[in-house]
Chain A
Amino acid sequence: MRLSVLAFLCASVGVASLAAQEPVTLSGRVTASGVPIGSVEVVVPSLGLGATTRDDGRYGIVIPGARATPGQTLTVVARRLGYKPSTVQVTLRAGIVEQDFTLAPNPLQLGEIVITGAGTVTEAQKLGSVRNAVDSALVARSNESNIVQALAGKAPNVEVTQQSGDPGASSYIRIRGTRTLSGNGQPLFVVDGVPIDNSSFSTSNFNLNDDLGVGQTDGTVHENRASDLNPNDIESVEILKGAASGAIYGARAGQGVILITTKSGHAGPTRFSLKSSVSFDDLNHHYPLQTRYGEGISGNAPDTSRGGDCDDPGSGSICSRSWGPALAPGSAVYDHSNEAYTTGRVVENDLTISGGNDRTTFYLSGEQYYNNGIIVGNNDQYTRNTVRFRGSHRLADNLKVGANLSYADTRGSFIQRGNNVNGIQLSLLRSPPNFNNLPYLDPQFGLHRTYRFQHPGAGDLVADRGFDNPFYIINEQQNRSKVGRVFGNINAEYTAADWLRVNYTLGADYSNDERLEGCPISSSDVCFAGRVIEGKLVNYQIDHNLSATAKYQLNPNIAGTVTLGQNLNSRNFRQLGNVGRTLITAKPFKVSNTVSRDIPSDAQTIIHNEGYFGQATLDLYDQLYLTAALRNDGSSTFGVQNRRSWFPKGSLAWTFTKVTGERPWLTFGKLRVAYGEAGQEPQPYLTSTNFLSNTIVSGISQGTGETPTQAGLGGLVQGTIKGATALRPERTKELETGFDIGLFRDKSDLSFTYYNAKTEDVILLTPVSAAGTGFTLQASNAATFRNRGLEVTLNMRPIQRQDYGWELGLQWARNRSMVVSLGGAQFVTVGDFEPNVAMVGQELGVIRSIGFLRCGVSASGASAAFDAACAGAAHGALYIDASGFPVVDPDPRVIANPNPRWTGSLRSGFRYKKVQLTALVDVRHGGQIWNGTKGALWSYGTHKDTEDRGASKTFGQGGWWDGPVVGPGAGTAVTIGQNWYRDGDAPCPFTGVDEPCIEDGGYAKLREISVSYTLDAPWVTRTLGVSSVDIRVAGRNLHTWTKYSGYDPETSLGGAAAPVTGIDYFNNPQTRSFNISFTFNR
């Protein structure tokens, strides 16, 4: 082998030195169905030269005389996404060689280059695992500013949930079910070969005192850092689902990998593209509130005059609820479901300039994105300004170097929400219908007034208001995030020989995120007397990736590649936050303007990874494709005995139509099977047992408790997490198999995949007996999860004519997760607000809580009467006691499953000449939600359901808790009013009886609809000086079909920071938007 390599090297050098002197120009035109097509890449692979066609389909490649030998035959390939590549042999001669290409549509993407990660590529038909790719057109059509949200509905079993409709809100992505409980459970994001940070951090997490460690359920929404990417820069996204395709990323690929490729310039004339768009957003669903009963309790109204019942902040509940008397006809009622919202808007401008010549290409873009959200006022905003430069230069014929650099300046101003009296939703939705929240400052003394404290006196600048007035929150609070981020890479591609390519990438990602949360001086509760949180997050990552790929061809039927590589990665994260309390003067919101400070939140983590990988492929008879890869990863987070870990994968793809022959109804058929193992590294420092100084050692609820340091004397307590001595990475072993077929002369294609993933060694903070150990949790590789599912993609192109066409795409997927083992514990809590748990034999994340006594479900023995009534009763029958009401079951049980039964989407596109109409409907079937917002509003008497107070209902009848009932009170009609909604078991957030608040969270959403038209008539060029103008009118989330009664079933209280779904508690609403955009191309 070595000898032949040397011989080959010498031979090729010899050829170069004998080259002729005259340059040769290769030019021609590329058409498809007779229409010229632009953006086609025409390349001479052996010389590394290429060009891109213009819109008229023409291209030109100049081959320097030193490299062109007359009479020499070269292979020239024309390829463009969506078309089958065309390869021709061209014999060179002096002067201009004309070579035209005709491309055929390629709906099955055969021959397309697919990036498979860590420097490896393959062709689509050789992939042994399912491919899910999202191109720039689909990203653009989504109208989402967050690339993660743009993936919603784009691939089966890729579930995307947006935290809320706030500008800049994070989106949470889940691929083929949850496979880890470590960190935020998000897939690895890789941009142009370099992993980037996609963390999410709630500012409230700087504030241990008030949040008991669950900051993401109050405070504001937060961003997921991948949203710093400008979606207009994205050329394509490859979603590596599961371990079978992600194994090349080893210990970081357990949740899948999102490979993002940014746009680059192409040889040819410099192209300009300016996109300007404006969107109008509004609330997509109004909260159902009652308007018939006023403030009060038990039918009594409080004295709301100055100095009356509602002017004593500690007065308690007669002023806190809306269980007062019926409002007199004609009395003023205020629309609390609507008053805080207005039409939000988005303005976006994006300019790109790209071009290059045969040796150098460049791509330069700048984006300004501005979003003023739907909450009134100017504190609900998100702006992003990005610039990106990507360039490459061929230093030598066989050495190409490149750089890709992006800077993002991202600023958010948010409105607090969630479980938080200083948040907008809680006070807004609880406001009695007869209380006017405006003006929020009492005219007499100019002080903050609320429905629970209506006339603050001269001395009440600092006094508890019960709940802050929503407009005081909107206008007077400041919650900011300012991020400066630079990320990118330098890279080199060195073709040592035409069979050996070396790739090197050195990437970095640095961000500085400054946070501020300022509660004004007249705030209530934990913000009493004002509170300021100032924090900084510094994150920097460096990634080095070196790989070499050798191609071989043993004979015409046996060929393949061998890749070897090394990866080093360093991630550093630093946080420093301070909480100051009691403002000295009203402004500014600076920690130095406060009387006292909490213990600073000061932490850093450093993670180092070192990985080696190898991959070999074998192509047999142009139909059987084998791939095998192996990665060895070491991580500083692994336990000392398990410093390194192996991750293998193997796959097989067989194009069986090569054997059976193509039929009119079956033009292409591929069977594939793949197996892989991928991991999730442990969170750092789980191996340490620590003493803590900043922990809260006791307390009753949010905002109370003591720290170990007292009286100026430093104290420590043993942390509640016991150090784990031996931790291994989590390991997902996944087998997937399926087929891809092209049907009816490529008019249709169908892809089917089945996968079975078993995740072993799942790291859990497993509860341990506090009494037995003195700790409450210890990390261990305790659990085993299983995720099994099916994925189907069906694309149809029933009509494809030159002037018009119709396409239809259908996706359907289901995933069933199962907790196989938890290493001893019965369940492990995974939620931080409601009791979502991992429980053996259940789907992951089910809600285990208190329900009512039900026959065959509740343990016998809680009550003799219950046991007797259940004899012979239907399973699940609700037990009704003599009072006519159900009875609380003392034993917690699984009462809800937030995981959907299946998900799917339907996309359709019509094209008539230059008009295109596309629509996307995204469906989630099933998946229950704990609607705590509803439960709380029942208690407060403002929910629409409470309007029918005093109605007579019978449990089990007439739509009221339908289903079998038993017991002495079965069939007894009872009055339902305050006794049930407030004083009874219904208000789940306060009683802990969660069964009444469980709802079906399934939905179908019209995610996208758009009409676009391309203006490229000659007058456009004449008058506007541009070659074409694309005009697009679009709608996003225009309609949601759901049975869910809250704002939106797509809600996520914790957002991307907390991988638990199905929790709704005073989160901000979702939005829908209308968008119009103009893109000028030149």
Chain B
Amino acid sequence: MKRSLPIALALASVGLMIGACNPFLTGEGLTNDPNNPTTATREALFMGVQATTFGQQESSVALTVCMWMQQCTGGGGRFVEEFGRYVIDENSHNFDFNSVYSGGGLIDIRKIEASAAAAPDSVFLGIAQIYEAHVIGTAADVWGDIPYTQALNAATPTLDNQLAVYDSVQVLLSRAIVNLNGAGPGPGDRDLVFAGDPAAWIEVAHTLKARYFLHTVEAAVAGLLGARTPAQVYADALAQATLGIGNAAGDFDAFHGQATSERNVWYQFQQTTFGIDLVAGKFLVDVLRARSDPRLPQYFAPNASSDWVAHHRYPINSIILDPNGNAELVTAATGDTTSGATQPSWSTTPGTIRVDNNVTWKNYGSPYGGEDVNTAQIVSTVSAVGGTRISPTFRQPFVTWAENELILAEAYNKGAVPNDPLALQHLNNERGSAGLSTLVGITGVALLDSIMTEKYVALFQNIEVWSDYKRTCLPALTPYLTANGALPAYQDKIPGRFYYGANERNTNSNIPAPSAQLSNNGFRNRNDPNACP
């Protein structure tokens, strides 16, 4: 026992000594995460911002727009197909909403700006400001009123009026242009788009200014911009586009590489997950085929018969609910023209047969009990979104010379000079570069239609197509009939916006409930006072 007691005391004191070491709880790797850095240079953050921007412009938002604009059609039965049928909820674009502000988005852009301003590196600052304008401008396009003046600066930031956000974006782009004319080494080769060339970024800034001026034109027509007239808006757009991207080499395109996490996101989605979900949209294929557009094989993969065919809207045996509440069944259809852009003048008499645009409809009477035609039935002959567009390294265009030329064409068409020939000239500039023939002798509304149709084709997969459609209703798309259970607010209409993300609504009392968002202005944004037909 005399021996044992010291043993116990020794054991106890060993324990106490270990315990007494203060770093036991606070030493290396214990309180600070040993796995990730806690600081980042603006160079490293800039890589993250670029990757995020490329991803944002190529993922859920863009593919939803592609389907709603009928450039693509969703298939495969997954959420893509549901989105295509206008079935969305507040979770659908939740991630996209967050990413505007979170890592790779505004929070990192602001860090780059602060760091560049302190350096000082005026060129880096200017480029970062363009990224900020682009991400915020796109967010205003799809969600309308968004937090901006209080962004990153309030627990529950209020929503800024969408039109005010566009004003802020204009101011920011103007500052970016000033800064790009200043001094500084800039990001150099870390700029994956222009290798740090300030002149190229200045042109992009001007084209973006022109783009965002046009986004307010419908509001100007409706008198929502106070004293500012539509003519002034077009004039501003014209002035900016004149200084905008001067040739295709100046396009703001994404960078993509062969590495897994550097591949074009459209490619990733089509080729590496759950099969082909996006196929050719009927409307776009019809336009491309009708004029033998050389972009057809660039946009879409040929089908097994080396032909390009879009999804049939009304295949045989499809049934829709007509406006009288009767089931109408397609009993016969011929050719690729089975999808009539207009629908027959329905009869209320069961058994009646109507023929429309090569489609034979038979009234099966009420009640409606069949399938919905608008769920894409993809027959094997349909073309996938593919061609040269679906490649891991395809540099997705975001802001381009083509857009700039067509902004010029539209601005001249709507400008102060009646029938200004410059409108057609700029349209033909762009058509020529796309391999299309030169148009002659069209003016006014017909010319506007050609300009907007060409822009619809040229800006394939670009989120901007939706903004153009919402303000001009061109090209004249026919909304898909919505499925059972769709809400009246966008039943048989192309929705005008997305729901705010679920995360933001959960945490920010300034975000209205989805039902309130639906009932506000027909689920359209402020710059879109009038619904399209």
Residues of A within 8 A of B (CB): 9, 12-13, 209, 297-300, 302-303, 308-310, 312-321, 396, 398-399, 421, 452, 464, 466, 492, 494, 496, 502, 504, 524-526, 528, 544, 546, 548, 566, 568, 581, 596-599, 602-604, 606-608, 610, 612, 634-636, 640, 643, 684-685, 687-693, 695-711, 713-720, 767-776, 824-827, 835, 850, 852, 858-859, 861-863, 865, 881-888, 890-892, 939-940, 952, 972-975, 977-980, 982-985, 987, 990-993
Say if the beta carbon of B337 comes within 8 Å of chain A. Answer: no
Residue of A nearest to B32 (CB): A688
User: Could you say which residues of chain A place their CB within 8 Å of the CB of B485?
Assistant: 852, 881, 885-888, 984-985, 993
Judging by beta carbons under 8 Å apart, are B51 and A604 in contact?
no
* CA of A12 to CA of B4, assembled, Å: 15
Residue of B nearest to A314 (CB): B276
17 contacts between A and B (CB under 8 A): A209-B260, A298-B315, A525-B274, A544-B18, A596-B259, A685-B32, A688-B33, A697-B51, A708-B44, A717-B104, A717-B108, A720-B102, A769-B156, A772-B152, A772-B508, A891-B515, A892-B514
* CA of A690 to CA of B24, assembled, Å: 23
* CA of A568 to CA of B315, assembled, Å: 72
* CA of A635 to CA of B7, assembled, Å: 29
Partner of A990, one of B82, B155, B262, B269: B82
Give, as a whole number of angstroms, the nearest-CB distance from A182 to chain B.
Answer: 16
* CA of A399 to CA of B10, assembled, Å: 14
Within 8 A of A (CB), among B23-69: 24-27, 29-40, 44-52, 54-56, 58-60, 63
User: Could you say which residues of chain B place their CB within 8 Å of the CB of A939?
Assistant: 77
* CA of A421 to CA of B99, assembled, Å: 28
Say if the beta carbon of B407 comes within 8 Å of chain A. Answer: no
Judging by beta carbons under 8 Å apart, are B380 and A710 in contact?
no
Judging by beta carbons under 8 Å apart, are B515 and A861 in contact?
yes
Known contacts A698-B52, A776-B98, A993-B485; decide if A320 and B76 are in contact (CB<8 Å): yes
Judging by beta carbons under 8 Å apart, are A492 and B11 in contact?
yes
Instruction: Tally B residues with Cβ within 8 Å of A.
Output: 141
Residue of B nearest to A883 (CB): B368
User: Could you say which residues of chain A place their CB within 8 Å of the CB of B259?
Assistant: 596
* CA of A700 to CA of B60, assembled, Å: 5
Known contacts A689-B38, A767-B503, A771-B157; decide if A703 and B52 are in contact (CB<8 Å): no
Say if the beta carbon of B91 comes within 8 Å of chain A. Answer: yes
Partner of B37, one of A546, A691, A696, A699: A691
* CA of A857 to CA of B274, assembled, Å: 36
Residues of B within 8 A of A (CB): 1, 3-5, 7-8, 11-12, 15-16, 18-19, 24-27, 29-40, 44-52, 54-56, 58-60, 63, 75-79, 81-82, 87, 89-92, 95, 97-108, 110-111, 146-147, 150-157, 189-190, 192, 255, 257-262, 265, 268-269, 271-276, 279, 301, 304, 315, 317-318, 321, 325, 367-372, 375-380, 382, 384, 483-488, 501-504, 506-508, 513-516, 518-519
User: Could you say which residues of chain A place their CB within 8 Å of the CB of B35?
Assistant: 602-604, 685, 690
* CA of A713 to CA of B18, assembled, Å: 45
User: Could you say which residues of chain A place their CB within 8 Å of the CB of B318?
Assistant: 298
* CA of A313 to CA of B76, assembled, Å: 12
User: Could you say which residues of chain B place their CB within 8 Å of the CB of A705?
Assistant: 55, 59, 261, 265, 268
Judging by beta carbons under 8 Å apart, are A704 and B273 in contact?
yes
Known contacts A708-B104, A979-B372; decide if A769 and B515 are in contact (CB<8 Å): no
Residue of B nearest to A502 (CB): B8
Judging by beta carbons under 8 Å apart, are B265 and A882 in contact?
no
Judging by beta carbons under 8 Å apart, are B151 and A979 in contact?
no
Known contacts A298-B377, A774-B101, A992-B82; decide if A883 and B484 are in contact (CB<8 Å): yes
Judging by beta carbons under 8 Å apart, are B260 and A692 in contact?
no
Q: Given A977-B371, A984-B484, A992-B79, 5 other A-B contacts at CB below 8 A?
A: A607-B30, A705-B268, A710-B50, A717-B104, A974-B368
User: Could you say which residues of chain B place their CB within 8 Å of the CB of A858?
Assistant: 515
Judging by beta carbons under 8 Å apart, are B55 and A711 in contact?
no
User: Could you say which residues of chain B place their CB within 8 Å of the CB of A695?
Assistant: 103
* CA of A852 to CA of B34, assembled, Å: 48
Judging by beta carbons under 8 Å apart, are A770 and B101 in contact?
yes
Residue of B nearest to A860 (CB): B515
User: Could you say which residues of chain A place their CB within 8 Å of the CB of B40?
Assistant: 691, 716, 718
User: Could you say which residues of chain A place their CB within 8 Å of the CB of B190?
Assistant: 713
Residue of B nearest to A993 (CB): B485
Partner of A716, one of B48, B92, B315, B506: B48
Known contacts A700-B60, A776-B503; decide if A610 and B19 are in contact (CB<8 Å): yes
Chain A: interface secondary structure?
loop
Give, as a whole number of angstroms, the nearest-CB distance from B211 to chain A.
Answer: 21
Partner of B25, one of A528, A636, A690, A992: A636
Q: 10 tightest CB-CB pairs across the interface, nearest first?
A: A698-B55, A715-B47, A774-B107, A975-B369, A316-B378, A708-B48, A717-B103, A314-B276, A717-B48, A718-B103
Known contacts A318-B378, A774-B102, A979-B371; decide if A596 and B8 are in contact (CB<8 Å): no
User: Could you say which residues of chain A place their CB within 8 Å of the CB of B37?
Assistant: 690-691, 716
Judging by beta carbons under 8 Å apart, are B503 and A707 in contact?
no
Judging by beta carbons under 8 Å apart, are A774 and B103 in contact?
yes
Judging by beta carbons under 8 Å apart, are A714 and B47 in contact?
yes
User: Could you say which residues of chain A place their CB within 8 Å of the CB of B78?
Assistant: 701, 990
Judging by beta carbons under 8 Å apart, are B63 and A700 in contact?
yes
Give, as a whole number of angstroms, the nearest-CB distance from A500 to chain B.
Answer: 9
Partner of A982, one of B108, B257, B375, B486: B375
* CA of A700 to CA of B46, assembled, Å: 22
Known contacts A581-B260, A714-B47; decide if A850 and B89 are in contact (CB<8 Å): yes
Judging by beta carbons under 8 Å apart, are B378 and A771 in contact?
no
Judging by beta carbons under 8 Å apart, are B38 and A690 in contact?
yes
Give, as a whole number of angstroms, the nearest-CB distance from A863 to chain B.
Answer: 5
Judging by beta carbons under 8 Å apart, are B503 and A568 in contact?
no
* CA of A507 to CA of B321, assembled, Å: 72
Judging by beta carbons under 8 Å apart, are B272 and A979 in contact?
no
Judging by beta carbons under 8 Å apart, are A884 and B368 in contact?
yes
Partner of A859, one of B11, B36, B515: B515
Judging by beta carbons under 8 Å apart, are B325 and A978 in contact?
no
User: Could you say which residues of chain A place their CB within 8 Å of the CB of B276?
Assistant: 313-316, 464
Give, as a whole number of angstroms, the nearest-CB distance from B347 to chain A.
Answer: 19
Judging by beta carbons under 8 Å apart, are B519 and A862 in contact?
yes
Give, as a whole number of angstroms, the nearest-CB distance from B327 to chain A.
Answer: 9
* CA of A417 to CA of B515, assembled, Å: 37
Judging by beta carbons under 8 Å apart, are B11 and A312 in contact?
no
Partner of A692, one of B25, B36, B371: B36
Known contacts A546-B12, A719-B36; decide if A892 and B89 are in contact (CB<8 Å): yes
Judging by beta carbons under 8 Å apart, are A496 and B152 in contact?
no
* CA of A45 to CA of B438, assembled, Å: 109
Give, as a whole number of angstroms, the nearest-CB distance from A522 to chain B.
Answer: 14
Partner of A706, one of B27, B261, B514: B261
* CA of A597 to CA of B156, assembled, Å: 41
Partner of B518, one of A769, A862, A882: A862
Known contacts A466-B275, A887-B487, A977-B371; decide if A991 and B87 are in contact (CB<8 Å): yes
User: Could you say which residues of chain B place their CB within 8 Å of the CB of A862?
Assistant: 487, 515, 518-519
Judging by beta carbons under 8 Å apart, are B380 and A718 in contact?
no
Judging by beta carbons under 8 Å apart, are B262 and A711 in contact?
yes
User: Could you say which residues of chain B place their CB within 8 Å of the CB of A635?
Assistant: 25
Judging by beta carbons under 8 Å apart, are B34 and A771 in contact?
no
* CA of A858 to CA of B81, assembled, Å: 26
Give, as a whole number of angstroms, the nearest-CB distance from A1074 to chain B.
Answer: 40
Judging by beta carbons under 8 Å apart, are B367 and A972 in contact?
yes
Greatest chain B CB density within 10 A among A13, A297, A700, A835 is at: A700
Judging by beta carbons under 8 Å apart, are A703 and B261 in contact?
no
Partner of A691, one of B38, B54, B317, B519: B38
Give, as a whole number of angstroms, the nearest-CB distance from B496 to chain A.
Answer: 15
* CA of A939 to CA of B82, assembled, Å: 12
Partner of B192, one of A597, A711, A863: A711
User: Could you say which residues of chain A place their CB within 8 Å of the CB of B24?
Assistant: 568, 608, 610
User: Could you say which residues of chain A place their CB within 8 Å of the CB of B265?
Assistant: 698-700, 704-706
Known contacts A691-B40, A719-B36; decide if A546 and B11 are in contact (CB<8 Å): yes
